[in-house]
Amino acid sequence: MSLDQEVDILRRVPLFANIDPAKLKLLAFASQRLTFKPGQALFRQGDAGDAAYILIDGGAEVVVDKSGGGELVVAQLDRNQIVGEIAILCDVPRTATIRAKGALTTLKITKEVFLRLMRDFPDIGMEVMRTLAHRLEQTTQQLTAARAQRH
């Protein structure tokens, strides 16, 4: 895949939609293309947050460890979504395991590159905040619904 094709992919990610193509070219050049087999983990819950991943082709599932043992799939991810940025931003261990649902291709963006991008382009920082706020809202709704079912 060419650098221009990777720029086109990055442009489809809402986080990067309004970024200058020349800057996206730098991001594509600084990122690493990785492929995962079905069931393979991009990272595991508790790992150090060293990178974010953009799903280029394929999907993944977000899995958390249940307190009594076992796993719980809490979300599905599709192409053009970014994952792993929370551990980078909050400097905390990974909050979930991300596992490929089928064959999966990603762009890996290191913590250093991601943080530099946010510093250099405040619009990306704002979009990250919107994305995280939306996820928090969804999680709150799910917790409220789960709590209502228990009572």
Structure tokens at 30: 């600084």
In the DSSP assignment, the letter for residue 14 is G
Q: Estimate the crossing angle of helix 21-30 against helix 3-12, to 10 degrees.
A: 110
Torsion over CA: 29, 31, 36, 39 (sign): negative
Task: Identify the pLDDT of residue 25.
Answer: 87
Q: Return the pLDDT at 15.
A: 79
Lowest pLDDT segment from 68-72, 77-81, 109-113, 139-143: 139-143
Question: Is it the case that residue 18 has pLDDT exceeding 80?
Answer: no
Instruction: Return the closest-CA partner of residue 104 out of 36, 10, 32.
Output: 36
pLDDT at residue number 105: 95
DSSP letters for 75-124: EEE-TT-EESHHHHHHT---SSEEEESSSEEEEEEEHHHHHHHHHH-HHH
- Tens digits of residue pLDDT in 107-150: 999 999 988 888 888 877 888 888 778 878 887 888 888 888 88
Q: What pLDDT is recorded for position 33? A: 92
28 contacts 72 by C-beta, under 8 angstroms: no
CATH superfamily for 3-150 is Jelly Rolls (2.60.120.10)
30-39, 45-54, 124-133, range with the lowest pLDDT: 124-133
Residue spans per domain, the chain: 3-150
Q: By percentage, how much of the chain surpasses pLDDT 90?
A: 38
How many percent of the chain have pLDDT more than 70?
100
Instruction: Compute CA 75 distance to the chain's CA centroid, rounded to the nearest angstrom.
Output: 12
Q: What is the pLDDT of residue 136?
A: 82
